[in-house]
Amino acid sequence: MKSVVVLGNWKSNKTLAEAKAWIEAFSKHKDFPVNIQVIVCPALHHIPLFMDAKFPIHLGVQDVSPFPAGSYTGAVAASLFAGTQVSVVMIGHSERRKHFGESNEMVAEKVKQSVSAGMIPVVCISESTQAEAVKQLAPQFFQKGMFLYEPLFAVGSGTPDTPLNANAFAAKLTSDFGRIPILYGGSVTPENVASFASQEYLSGVAVGKASLDPEIFFQLIVNASSRS
C-alpha cells in the first residue's frame, strides 16, 4: 500500500480562538487512515496549541529564516525549533516568491539552515528551473527533502492542474533529479485528491483552502487513502 503525504498549509489564517476550535473539532476523529502521513503547517503562533494534540500529525512551518540564530529581527531561525515538535519546513512557496521577493538564492540558504537543523525541507516549485537552482545551490536538499509542485494558475484558483499533467511534471523531475518525494499543490479538494494521490510519480498533495475546515480536511485525508 502506497503511503501518501497530505500537507495542510493554513497560510496567514486563523486567530488563536479559531485555531483552538479547529484542533478541538479535528480531535474528535479517531479513525485516521494508517497509510496517510498528515502534516499541518499553521501560523507560528499556533504551534504551542498543537503540542498536546491527540491526533497523529507531523507539525510544519510555512517559512524559515535564511540566517542562523542571532541578530535578525523578525526572523525565526531553523535551529530555534529544537525541542518543539516541528519537523517540516516549507520553503519558497509561490506566495513567498511573489509577495516577499524570495529568490532561488534565498531559498537555497533556507534549505541549508533547515537541513543542518535536522528538519525536512519541502521546497515549492512551479517550474523545473527552480529545482535546478536547488541542485546547484543547496545539494544537501536531496538528503531528505521533498518538492512541492504548485503550478501558478492552480494555487488558490479553484482550477487544479490535471493529475496527468502533474504526474508528467513529477516524472520529468524524477528522471532529472532521482527518486525523491514530490507533492502536488493547487486547488486540491476531497473530490479530486484521490486522482492526484494515486499518480505513480506523486507522493501526495499540499492543501491550502481545503485544510482550513477540519471536517473538509479530514474527509480529504480519508479520500486520499481510498485509492492509495
Interacting residue ranges for ligand PGA, rule: CB under 6 A:
9, 150, 155-156, 185-188, 206-210
Residue of minimal CB distance from ligand PGA?
A: 208
Query: Active-site residue among 46, 93, 95, 109?
Result: 93
Catalytic residue among 95, 102, 109, 150: 150
At 204, phi and psi to the nearest 5?
155, -160
Q: Output 134 or 220, the one with its CB closest to ligand PGA.
A: 220
Active-site residue flag, 93: yes
User: Does 150 participate in catalysis according to the annotation?
Assistant: yes
Strands 120-125, 36-41: pairing is unpaired
Q: How far is the CB of 149 from ligand PGA (least distance, A)?
A: 9
Q: How far is the CB of 87 from ligand PGA (least distance, A)?
A: 19
Could you tell me which residues come within 8 angstroms of residue 191 by beta carbon, excluding any fewer than 6 positions away?
Answer: 223
Could you tell me the smallest distance in angstroms from the CB atom of residue 93 to ligand PGA?
6
State how far the Cα of 208 lies from the Cα of 11, in Å rounded to an integer. 7
Nearer Cβ to ligand PGA (109/150): 150
Q: Output b/e per residue, 128-140; b: 16+ Cβ within 10 A.
A: eebbebbeebbee
Judged by CB, which is closer to ligand PGA: 87, or 189?
189
Q: 17: which residues sit within 8 A by CB, 6+ positions away?
A: none
Half-sphere exposure of 130 (CA within 13 A, CB side): 23
Distance in Å, CB of 184 to ligand PGA, minimum? 9
Maximum CA pair distance of the chain?
Answer: 48
Is the CB of 104 or the CB of 211 nearer to ligand PGA? 211
Active site positions, annotated: 93, 150
